[in-house]
Amino acid sequence: MCNLESYPPVFRHLTGSPPPFQLTATTTTTTTIEDSSSSSSSSSSSSSSSSSSSSSSSSVPIPVVDLQSLSLEKLGEACKEWGVFRLLNHGIPPRLLNKVEEHVKVLFSLSFESKQALLTNPLSYFWGTPVLTPSGDALRGALSFNWLEGINVPLTQLPHFQSQQDPRLEDFRHFVEEYGRHLSRIATSLFEAMVKNLKLCPKQSESSLDESTGFIRLYRYPPRSLVDEACGMVEHTDSSLLSIVNQDQVGGLEIFKDNKWLLVNPISDTLLVHVGDMMQAISDDRYMSVKHRVRVKQQEERLSICYFVFPAKGCVVRSSTYKPFTYTEFQQQVQNDTKTLGYKLGLQRFKLNAPA
């Protein structure tokens, strides 16, 4: 388990610098796609099992959704039963994915000082607890002891980014902008299909996805030598409408389902889509925001590229399960809870008839 109690205080806010980038060859997996509906047993074909900790997680085939021939029924089932699915035929050219991954590696391989100096406004670089404010600054006071370094990329602000002084950043900006446009397209198509599937009334779908809120976070999870400190990112649900995760072949992402942690095998050329808290709210709890976490390995570091998108800032999220709220109010509440309680209470705070 990611047992917070076992963390020595030195990790509270990760001081010092992250272990240097290793550029190790990533584990290759032989995993093939299996639809969860066709098998109830664990898939055992991945060579990258969960980190060698006391985790009881097992790997399973999670639902698969094909963006090219989108089945509303499959999409709905995946969002209701799992809150996560694998996306096939997403239309992002492999050359672009490779370019982005290449640049992410180059950036993370810079020295800690260079990353701090280079990855600034509107980008931000962080090491350790990534409970972030919307602007990407790490929030102090959180109990989330995450073992990762990250780069926050607000997509709409990229055109204003003064990257000319460094060619590494200019290329990075170019590829990440193109990648961001694909992610916006994918998120919008999926969201529209979900709204249709849920037969949302105009009041609910008003709180629709706003592409301009989209941002990308690049993560590097260095290996950890101690078996009982295998937590890369502590368990949480995403506050977004939808999140789209592109993990490398190392693996380590786990989802919580039916009281068990399940390992999500990495499969190349696929993306993972998470239902976030905002989607759960507007669906009146018919879709579930999936609880997930990341485990780190003892030997291999892991990279992931994640995209998050939200309702427009002032837009009121209406449902019959929750009090009306804006995303800004939700985020504010999450920040307050994180500061005062040390963790996120999330949607519980907004439940109608919830105890005060």
User: What are the residues binding Fe ion (CB under 5 A)?
Assistant: 238
Among ligand AKG, Fe ion, none, residue 253 binds (CB under 5-8 Å by kind):
ligand AKG
Strand partners, 132: 138
Pick between residue 187 and residue 306 the one whose CB is nearest to ligand AKG.
Answer: 306
Q: How far is the CB of 356 from ligand AKG (least distance, A)?
A: 29
Phi and psi at residue 88, to the nearest 5°: -105, 160
What separation in angstroms does the CA of 245 have from each of 6, 84, 237, 253, 267? 28, 10, 13, 10, 12
What binding mask, one character per residue, do residues 279-308 give for ligand AKG by CB under 6 A, x or -? -------------x-x---------x-x--
Residue 112 CA to residue 126 CA, distance in Å, equals 10
Residue 309 CA to residue 299 CA, distance in Å, equals 33
Pick between residue 200 and residue 266 the one whose CB is nearest to Fe ion.
Answer: 266
Instruction: Tell me which stretch binds ligand AKG (CB under 6 A): 12-20, 52-60, 186-194, 245-253.
Output: 245-253
Pick between residue 76 and residue 232 the one whose CB is nearest to Fe ion.
Answer: 232
Residue in the structure block whose two tokens are 């204003």:
160
The answer to whether residue 233 forms part of the interface with ligand AKG (CB under 6 A) is yes
Nearby residues of 181 by Cβ (< 8 Å), 6 or more positions away:
none
Residue nearest to Fe ion (CB): 238
- Which of 97, 209, 253, 347 binds ligand AKG (CB under 6 A)? It is 253
Nearby residues of 10 by Cβ (< 8 Å), 6 or more positions away:
none
The answer to whether residue 238 forms part of the interface with ligand AKG (CB under 6 A) is yes
Among ligand AKG, Fe ion, none, residue 294 binds (CB under 5-8 Å by kind):
ligand AKG
For residue 166, the surrounding DSSP H or E stretch is none
Residue 100 CA to residue 318 CA, distance in Å, equals 37
The answer to whether residue 247 forms part of the interface with ligand AKG (CB under 6 A) is yes
What separation in angstroms does the CA of 113 have from each of 152, 166, 189, 221? 17, 15, 40, 18
Pick between residue 230 and residue 253 the one whose CB is nearest to Fe ion.
Answer: 253
Pick between residue 63 and residue 276 the one whose CB is nearest to ligand AKG.
Answer: 276
Pick between residue 131 and residue 209 the one whose CB is nearest to ligand AKG.
Answer: 131
Q: How far is the CB of 270 from Fe ion (least distance, A)?
A: 17
Residue 276 CA to residue 148 CA, distance in Å, equals 21
Binding residues for ligand AKG, per CB under 6 A?
217, 219, 233, 238, 245, 247, 253, 292, 294, 304, 306
